[in-house]
Amino acid sequence: MNREIEAIYALWKRELIRFFRAKSRVIGSLGMPFFFLAILGTGLSNAFALPMEGNYLEFITPGIIGMVLMFGSMFSGIIVLIDRQFGFLKETLVAPVSRTSIVIGKALGGATTAMFQGIIIMLIAFFLGVNFQIGNAVLLLVFMFMISVMFVSLGITIASKMEDMHGFQIIMNFLIMPLFFLSGALFPLSTAPEILKAASMFDPLTYGVNGLRFILLGYSEVPFATCFAVISAFTIAFIAIAILAFNRIEE
């Protein structure tokens, strides 16, 4: 048991070292969300009526944090593919450590770096003038953690199934972007066409974004209890699937 925890810790640490060592990657990953907030958020601030108090920038801030958590953790998961291409995956796979521990180590590492990015974006939003009303900081961290673990697991699952990086564009355009747009991160779902609203109910990020919006601003289009329950369920399901998929990699 002790050995497995050692391995999880080592893998977690590796993710952190790699993340913070590549300064350009840290800055690069924060570029898009920053412009979303600073330009889209401020530019559209009076463009349409919101079902909540506050301006558009405030409305999309939880959405952008959700996006950062999703992008950041998805990428950490998909790095498994790069590890395979560059051979490092083999080193981990032949170690006397269970595959489950490898997935957990990676998931924790990816979640940590994604949460770091999320918190940076929160700070940026704060300086742009967003008026946060954080009721429960612990709940916020737990919720961010769950969203991250869920998407790292999804990334690991995809990476376990893919042969190489060629399919990455497809994942980006046909999975990540629709999940983001459908989540109600950028527009209120309550005034959206029925078909979009229905589709968004199948998007786990919808519950992530609305849950975050509730914790950060006290407003949500989906009851928070529902958000919490759905995210918990998805997190558990996705990590289980990731463990299964990772166990199937032959080497």
Contact set with other proteins (CB under 8 A): 2-3, 6-7, 9-11, 13-14, 17-18, 21-22, 83-84, 86-97, 163, 249-251
Residue 9 or 224 having the CB closest to other proteins? 9
63-160-28 Cα angle (round to 5): 40
To other proteins, the closest distance from the beta carbon of 185 in angstroms equals: 31
Residue 236 CB neighbour total at 10 angstroms: 14
Residue 15 or 221 having the CB closest to other proteins? 15
CA distance 90 to 16: 20
Residue 89 or 171 having the CB closest to other proteins? 89
Residue 90 or 177 having the CB closest to other proteins? 90
To other proteins, the closest distance from the beta carbon of 126 in angstroms equals: 32
Residue 10 or 199 having the CB closest to other proteins? 10
To other proteins, the closest distance from the beta carbon of 122 in angstroms equals: 27
Residue 17 or 237 having the CB closest to other proteins? 17
